[in-house]
């Protein structure tokens, strides 16, 4: 480890599928700038890992043998606020991804990605960018929709005070994402750098997490739990 070289990214994986463990380990090994610090096969092991030193990037699978990866994400986010957490997923379907983001994840990793792609995604996340899909963008837009006429059942949820509403720029970026534009194209259309677009998305994810926490408290108050 030369002094002049940047320090290696400390990454770890929580995953019970050996095939993906292997390909993930291979991708990290071949990246050259990352170091696989640990590998947990279930929630219990993951919790022990979280009790230790903070990491740079933690990749978590949701379907663990002894519980949900959401717990791991939440625990890791609380323990290591600066750690970038990614949910590893086969389909990047919005249901799982958004639940993970609400728990504190900053991005997702498609399991069928190539080794280079995996390394790229980890680097991008660590650099402050977050991946997003058109459908996830659409979901987030719906979630932050300003008070419009909504069905009565949804009204309760909608009156929840949104701590940090989306800024017009963030909303614009999300709308472009739903139309299939890539980060580069959005950067060009909005006349900002690709990096800015990626930090937009990261900030939106953070707002989603905060809002969902506020909603949870609000709900709890409504139900007399708090």
Name which of 22 and 114 has its Cβ closer to other proteins.
Answer: 114
Beta bridge partners of 59: 13, 86
Q: Binding pattern to other proteins, positions 182-201, x when CB under 8 A?
A: x--x----------------
Q: Given the rule CB under 8 A, which of 23-31, 111-119, 198-206, 211-219 is the region that contacts other proteins?
A: 111-119
Query: Which residues inside 73-92 make contact with other proteins, applying CB under 8 A?
Result: 91
CB 103 within 8 A of CB 70: yes
CB 84 within 8 A of CB 107: yes
Name which of 95 and 221 has its Cβ closer to other proteins.
Answer: 95
CB 97 within 8 A of CB 69: no
DSSP sequence for 127-190: TT-----HHHHHHHHHHT--S----HHHHHHHTS--SSPPPHHHHHHHHHHHTT--HHHHHHHH
Least Å distance, CB 108 to other proteins, is 12
Instruction: Find the binder of other proteins among 25, 48, 93, 157 (CB under 8 A).
Output: 93
Query: Which residues inside 6-65 make contact with other proteins, applying CB under 8 A?
Result: none
Chain residues binding other proteins by CB under 8 A are 91, 93-94, 110, 112-114, 117, 133-135, 138, 177-182, 185
């Amino acid at each position: 480890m030369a002094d002049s070289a940047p320090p290696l990214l400390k990454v770890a994986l929580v995953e019970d599928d050996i095939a993906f463990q292997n390909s993930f380990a291979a991708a990290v090994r071949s990246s050259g700038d990352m170091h696989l610090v640990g590998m947990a096969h279930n929630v219990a092991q993951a919790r022990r890992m979280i009790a230790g030193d903070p990491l740079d990037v933690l990749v978590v699978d949701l379907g663990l043998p002894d519980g949900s990866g959401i717990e791991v994400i939440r625990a890791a986010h609380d323990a290591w606020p600066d750690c970038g957490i990614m949910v590893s997923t086969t389909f990047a379907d919005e249901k799982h991804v958004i639940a993970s983001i609400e728990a504190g994840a900053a991005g997702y990793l498609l399991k069928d990605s190539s080794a280079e792609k995996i390394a790229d995604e980890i680097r991008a996340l660590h650099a402050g960018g977050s991946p997003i899909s058109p459908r996830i963008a659409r979901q987030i837009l719906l979630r932050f929709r300003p008070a419009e006429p909504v069905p009565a059942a949804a009204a309760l949820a909608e009156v929840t005070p949104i701590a940090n509403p989306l800024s017009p720029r963030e909303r614009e970026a999300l709308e472009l994402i739903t139309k299939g534009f890539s980060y580069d194209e959005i950067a060009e259309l909005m006349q900002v750098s690709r990096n800015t677009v990626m930090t937009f998305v990261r900030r939106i994810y953070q707002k989603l997490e905060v809002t969902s926490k506020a909603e949870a408290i609000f709900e709890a108050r409504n139900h007399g739990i708090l």
